[in-house]
Structure 1
Amino acid sequence: MRRSSAASSSPPARSSRSPSAGHPPNRHPGSRSSRSTAPRYPARSTQHASRITGCAGRRPLPAHPPSTITNLKGAHVALYILRRVGITVLMVFLVVSAAFFLVALMPNDVTQTILGPDATPEARAQLRDEMGFNDPILMRYLAFLGGLLTGDLGVSYLSQQSVTMQVLERLPVTLTLSMGGILLTTVLGIVLGILAASRGGWLDTIIRGAAGVMQAIPSFWLAVLLVLVFAVNLKMFPASGWEPFTEDPAEFLRRITLPLISIGIAGTAAVARQARVAMLDVQGRDFMQTLRATGLPEWRIVWLHGLRNAAIPVLTVIGLQFVALFGSAVLIEQVFALPGVGKLVVDSVNLGDMPIVLGVVVALSVVILVMNLVIDILYGIINPKARLA
């Protein structure tokens, strides 16, 4: 009885085989402890995993510091600008060459204008030989290029004055008129286009209708109408003449107001219509809705973020209008009697003074191509994708 009670009260004896002896406990495969502690699949080495993924020995690439990224962007921009400058220089050479051959091959006999209608054929032939008209055209072309590299555009047939000096005296008037016109076109056109796209309704209808009417009005007809109304009848502005800004700023503004309106109305309409279309396209994009959801003011969303994304097509129209303004300047300078290169080239064509005509063509071509270069550079700054073109 004592043995049985002692046996029943004492705990069961442990096995003499301990885990330290090299035998794991609960070796039975069906036990819970074996399922919870032992791995289900055999472990694989790191080399085996690298062999499967193909990434053996690879390390993550180091991130470029911000200074390196900035230098790369600056190098891309500089390369883009250099490429555009090279294209512009090539275009200037081609345009100047084409202008020279067109002027040289024109059937023009200036000797009759210089000597008069009573000159003998022998005198006219001698003068033609002295002026180099009998030289081969290739030799005349090389001489013209040599003078162009030194800034010498030749001598006028009639006045015997330097063509370069005459063009430089008249060019500031035309540049002032053209730059003022493009400034008026850009500012007023963008403002009207954005207002039409943002407000909509009756304001959009009025701006679109006015833009269509303004774009259909010829600049010279509008110039004559403005002279009749504001100069002849109302006596508010002078009808003709020019006053430099450095001598009398107030009189300069009075005399340039009507020419600026005449030359900039059609361009303003074109820029306004393009700005409206571009802004409507931008307003439907997701990032504009995201900016509105952040609580930014509407004016900041439209005039900063929206205008920047809509600037590419607007810049294209502005560049085209700048070229068109030089063509309109010839007529506007005739109407208002402005001493610009437009009036100079018209008088030279009537008198047969071809060096003046060629000098004006070269000067205007360089100005237009430089303006196109500026617009191309702005393309690359605003839209980095344009640098790949």
Structure 2
Amino acid sequence: MGAVLVFLVLTLIFSAIRLIPGDPVELLLSSGNTSASPEVVEQMREQLGLNGSLPVQYWNFLTGILTGDLGESIRTGDAVSESIAQRLPRTLELVIFATVISMLVGIPLGAWAAARGGFVDSAATVLTSLGVALPVYVLGTLLILVFSLTLGWLPAGGFTTWQQNPGRHFQLLILPAIALSLGFTAIIARMTRSAVLETMGQDWVRTATAFGHGPLKVFRRHVLRNSLTPVTTVIGLGFGTLLGSTVLVERVFNYPGLSSLLVESVSNRDYAVVQGIVIIIALLFILINIVVDIVYGLLDPRVRQ
């Protein structure tokens, strides 16, 4: 099933890229109001493999994917795989950091709100609603204004590799990760709250309480663990969504990740780079869903059966 899904995704990516208006070769060779000659355009199309029929291009596209060859950039001539290999770890690091923050804050917050109820539940509901409603670019701008320009605690943006300066690398990662994680934290908290409230009303929870187990033990072993299955689904899907949300965060904080490269490539009609990036993101999303299914089995033995 996973192989079929990958094949369908590759086919959709190939078709969608070819439906984008405009000729990338003519756009590349044009300078101001001057257009390149038809001979030069045809020569460039042949060089890039765009002069063949769509079936031929599709076959070359699939065979290239299978051999690990994602083509070359129309603009720079660099191998797409090398460009992605350079940018992808930066974006993954940002997304993983933001996901960890969201889990460490969202799950305890949602569980606490459901367990305590009353004012705590109402306050958590208001906070999570604000977190979902606040756009990431607005939050990013506020974080820069407060923590960089006003307090001077953290840098406003940029990037430094871990090898060059580990401390500076971590500092430059904090604000983008917080901006990216706020909305995801609110979603996880709300899902955890709903799942915990539903689980607390189940028969096995009342049975465990009747057997004399302490409230904390019942909550930890019988309520929270059984509530994590839907939360795991949200985390898995949200991780893939964060890969797309990094576009705005990378722009606001001048973070040179994969999403920035995608935006630049779309603007330049760079087919090969756009294809390569979208393929990698789609494959990561499929891989995340497989990992989520495995985690299901760890959390709920009934899934393994």
Do the two structures share a fold, i.e. TM-score over 0.5? Answer: yes
- Counterpart residue identity of residue 86, structure 2: E
1:105 paired to 2:22: no
Q: Normalising to structure 1: TM-score of the pair? A: 0.74
- Larger proportion of helix: 2
- C-alpha RMSD of matched pairs (Å): 1.8
- Counterpart residue identity of residue 227, structure 1: I
- Counterpart residue identity of residue 26, structure 2: Q
Residue in structure 2 matching 1:171, options 72, 75, 88 = 88
Q: CA deviation at 1:177?
A: 0.9
Q: CA deviation at 1:107?
A: 2.6
**Correspondence for 2:247:** 330
1:232 paired to 2:149: yes
1:276 paired to 2:207: no
Q: CA deviation at 1:384?
A: 4.7
Percent identity over paired residues? 36
Q: CA deviation at 1:377?
A: 1.9
Matched residue count: 302
For residues 90 and 221 of structure 1, what CA distance do their matches in structure 2 show? 40
Q: CA deviation at 1:359?
A: 0.5
1:142 paired to 2:51: no
1:94 paired to 2:5: no
**Correspondence for 1:347:** 264
For residues 290 and 244 of structure 1, what CA distance do their matches in structure 2 show? 54
Q: Which runs of 5+ in 2 are unaligned?
A: none
1:256 paired to 2:173: yes
**Correspondence for 1:132:** 49
**Correspondence for 1:293:** 210
- Counterpart residue identity of residue 108, structure 1: G
**Correspondence for 1:29:** none
Q: Deviations over 1:10-35 (max 9, x none)?
A: xxxxxxxxxxxxxxxxxxxxxxxxxx
Greater relative contact order (CA < 8 Å, ≥ 6 in sequence): 2
Q: Which runs of 5+ in 1 are unaligned?
A: 1-86
Q: CA deviation at 1:301?
A: 2.0
* More displaced stretch, 241-250 vs 99-108: 241-250
1:114 paired to 2:31: no
- Counterpart residue identity of residue 206, structure 1: A
Q: CA deviation at 1:149?
A: 0.9
Q: Deviations over 1:211-249 (max 9, x none)?
A: 111111111111112112211222111111122334433
Q: CA deviation at 1:114?
A: 3.4
Relative to structure 1, the CA distance from residue 271 to residue 161 in structure 2 (aligned partners, 3 Å threshold; closer, same or farther) is same
Q: CA deviation at 1:312?
A: 1.7
1:376 paired to 2:300: no
- Counterpart residue identity of residue 14, structure 2: F
For residues 271 and 125 of structure 2, what CA distance do their matches in structure 1 show? 44
Larger Rg: 1
**Correspondence for 1:55:** none
Residue in structure 1 matching 2:131, options 189, 197, 214 = 214
Q: Could you say what secondary structure the match of 1:310 adopts?
A: helix
Q: Could you say what secondary structure the match of 1:242 adopts?
A: coil
* More displaced stretch, 340-349 vs 240-249: 240-249
Contact 2:114 2:197 in 1 (8 A): yes
